[in-house]
Amino acid sequence: MSKYQLKWGILAVGGIAETFARDLTVSPETRGVKDIEHIIVAAAASSSQQRAQAFLEKVGVRNAKAYGSYKELVQDSNVDIIYIATPHSHHYQHAMLCLEAGKNVLCEKAFTTNAAQAKILIEKAREKNLFLMEAAWTRYFPISQYVRDQIRSGAIGTVQRTFADLSSIVPAGVLKEDNRLISPKLAGGVLLDTCIYSLTWVFQTLYSTQDKPSPPQVLSSARKNIAGTDEHTSILLTFPRQQGGDAHGIATASMHVASDADGTGSLPAVRVQGTDGEIQIFHPCFRPTKSRLARSNGKTEEKDWPQLGPGKGSGWWNGFGNEVGKSNNAEGEGHGMFWEADECAYALKDGHKESRVQMLAESLEVMEVMDEVRRQNGIVFPHDIETTDYPVEIAR
Ligand SMILES: NC(=O)C1=CN([C@@H]2O[C@H](COP(=O)(O)OP(=O)(O)OC[C@H]3O[C@@H](n4cnc5c(N)ncnc54)[C@H](OP(=O)(O)O)[C@@H]3O)[C@@H](O)[C@H]2O)C=CC1
Ligand SMILES: O=C1OC[C@@H](O)[C@H](O)[C@H]1O
């Protein structure tokens, strides 16, 4: 059987780009995927060609082009799709660069800094008939598929409420003001960086599972850090429904408490509560490996979801420069980013221009929620990263 081959270009060679690239090199057959193949054909660093070359060597990719600028990468006719791994602040400018050059795009989360930018990207992709997807990787895990299936099949009755949290304690002084996790210049703060995973769980349990989903009402509270972005954020979303009453989603993220307070992985980070039971997902909710289904009839189903792969998966990138947190990859596992890459390949193979799991309209809805949270809490980013103008040089 001939395999559908997807040729990737990697735009930016930082922490998550390395994890993603390593996952692309894991044979899809190790996860039972036999009809597609991923090949990295090029990578680009913003600073130098040598940096891109060093990246390719580090992730074990030979015969790929190394570029010292993103502009060169998007002109490479051998590249089918570009994975964008720059900070949130730069996603809009870099996605526009790719789309304008006729490239399909997988763009890291948060999709953009605001909904206006996301809307224009979506319009641009449609105008150019190109594939565009937000790299909300957790949605593509088998565990996520399982949870959505359980909800759709009525296993826990009518879902009434989802709690989702992604929090880790970051000791004072660890993050300097220019760190991408807090700097306004890089669209920092827990909202766009980690609360987006809590929102992912709220949306994929209360929104994606509805036949005709409606946008939620938003109430929120956010505490700010030294840089003026958020570090302790709670969101209450009310999803109107035709039947079963409004559903509530509580999405939280913090740098002052931990989802996994005792470090054992035994505390649920996500609880999806229905009239006939509950589904729990254990920390970390961005890369969960354990679920529990507890039914009101007393039956319980616990499942482990190890990430497959023959050992090429890297340690997880914790975003804090490995100064806090630790790897949660078991020896011999992949990281799990390959599931979203597979979705790109299958969608492109079948002529789709967006993911079948998370439609672009939903990515836009999530951005609208985050805009509203920022509006309610006075979280403002500099004009050059909020603008919908293109091209714009972003100040360092
Ligand atoms: N899916 C996931 O699990 C994760 C996703 N992420 C997302 O990936 C993105 C990147 O995060 P991460 O890899 O941790 O970040 P890093 O800081 O490690 O890497 C970012 C890369 O972007 C490039 N870049 C271009 N312009 C700038 C700029 N002005 N300032 C800083 N870097 C710039 C850098 O240079 P160069 O081009 O030279 O490489 C750098 O290598 C974020 O959007 C983040 O939310 C992050 C961690 C986990
Ligand atoms: O996407 C992410 O997942 C893991 C977090 O630690 C990281 O900061 C974030 O960017």
Give the CATH number, domain containing residue 283. Answer: 3.30.360.10
- Residue 332: pLDDT band (50, 70, 90) is low
Q: In 10 A of CB 386, how many CB atoms?
A: 18
329 pLDDT higher than 60: no
Task: Give yes or no for residue 16 CB within 6 A of ligand 1.
Answer: yes
The answer to the question of residue 184 being in a domain is yes
pLDDT at residue 128 above 80?
yes
Average pLDDT, the chain: 93
Nearest atom within ligand 1 for CA of residue 89: 43
Question: pLDDT value at position 314?
Answer: 47
pLDDT reading at 102 higher than 80? yes
pLDDT tier at 217 (50, 70, 90 boundaries)?
A: very high
**Separation of alpha carbons 124 and 132, rounded Å:** 10
- What would the mean pLDDT of 370-389 be, rounded to a whole number? 98
Q: Find the ligand nearest to 69 CA.
A: 1
What is the distance in A from the centroid of ligand 1 to the CA of 122?
22
Give the separation between CA 237 and CA 352, rounded to whole angstroms.
31
Query: Could you tell me if residue 155 is inside a domain?
Result: yes
Residue 96 located in a structural domain:
no
When pLDDT is averaged across residues 221-247 and rounded to a whole number, the result is 96
The yes-or-no verdict on residue 108 having pLDDT over 60 is yes
CA distances from 116 to 126, 199, 364, 385 (A): 16, 19, 9, 12
Please state the ipTM of this predicted complex: 0.99
Does some domain include residue 279?
A: yes
Q: Does residue 361 lie within any of the structural domains?
A: no
Q: Which of 194, 197, 324 most suits a substitution to test ligand 2, by most atoms within 8 Å of the C-beta?
A: 194
Task: Please determine, for residue 272, whether its predicted confidence score (pLDDT) is greater than 60.
Answer: yes
4 Cβ contact list (under 8 Å, min separation 6): 35, 36, 37, 345, 348, 349
Structural domain of residue 276, as residue ranges?
141-309
How many independent structural domains does the chain possess? 1
* pLDDT the model gives residue 317: 42
Which amino acid residue places its CA nearest to atom 4 of ligand 2? 318
pLDDT band at 172; cut points 50, 70, 90: confident
- Percentage of residues of the chain with pLDDT beyond 90: 87
> CA 3 to CA 73: how far, in whole Å?
25
Query: Where does the pLDDT of residue 318 fall: very low under 50, low under 70, confident under 90, or very high at 90 and above?
Result: very low
pTM given for the model: 0.96
Query: Exposed/middle/buried for 151, CB within 10 Å: 0-12, 13-18, 19+?
Result: buried
Banded model confidence at residue 264, pLDDT cuts 50, 70, 90: confident
Question: Which residue's CA is the nearest one to ligand 2's atom 7?
Answer: 319
User: Is 167 close to ligand 2, i.e. is its CB under 6 Å away?
Assistant: no
**C-beta 137 within 6 A of ligand 2:** no
Considering only CA atoms, which of 63, 67, 7, 10 is closest in space to residue 39?
A: 7
